[in-house]
Amino acid sequence: MSEHSHGDANLTRNQALVLETLSAADGSLSAYTILDHLRDKGFRAPLQVYRALDRLVELGLVHRLETLNAFVVCRRSDCEGHGTVAFTICKKCDNVAELTGEEIAGTLNSVAVDVGFALEKSTVELRGICGACRAG
């Protein structure tokens, strides 16, 4: 694991713009939505967005949500180190919330150890209905 802390990475202009766009968003964004936001900043091709996203994911500043094929900015400072991130994804309002991954990491790790698997990283996506939608 490389050492880094949120906010002090050396980002290129493109990476910083993509991160800014994701930070300003309420939930998750697809690469194409990000591209639409950044067209007037000189972005032309999806590849430019994907390249920036790859690096941001690598740095732990952004998470990729496989089931939505979308990206969300990391809002937890305690997220690094254990390689497991977890989200609740509301199917009604599309709200995406990042959970503390630590307990889940412990569980997944012991399951992996049982089958002799060396777990490096995992993304857990819980699909369902958020508290606000259930109350409403």
Which spans of this chain sit near Zn ion (rule: CB under 5 A)? 74, 76, 79, 90, 92-93, 95, 130, 133
Give min distance, CB of 18 to Zn ion, in A: 16
Measured from the CB atom, the residue of 16 and 129 that comes closer to Zn ion is 129
Spatial contact of 62 and 76, defined as CB atoms under 8 Å apart:
no
Measured from the CB atom, the residue of 47 and 93 that comes closer to Zn ion is 93
Measured from the CB atom, the residue of 43 and 55 that comes closer to Zn ion is 55
Instruction: State the Cα–Cα distance between residues 23 and 85, nearest whole angstrom.
Output: 18
Q: State which H helix or E strand residue 89 sits in.
A: strand 84-90
Q: State which H helix or E strand residue 58 sits in.
A: helix 46-58
Measured from the CB atom, the residue of 43 and 96 that comes closer to Zn ion is 96
Give min distance, CB of 60 to Zn ion, in A: 7
Give min distance, CB of 96 to Zn ion, in A: 10
Q: Helices 13-24 and 46-58 meet at what angle, rounded to 10?
A: 80
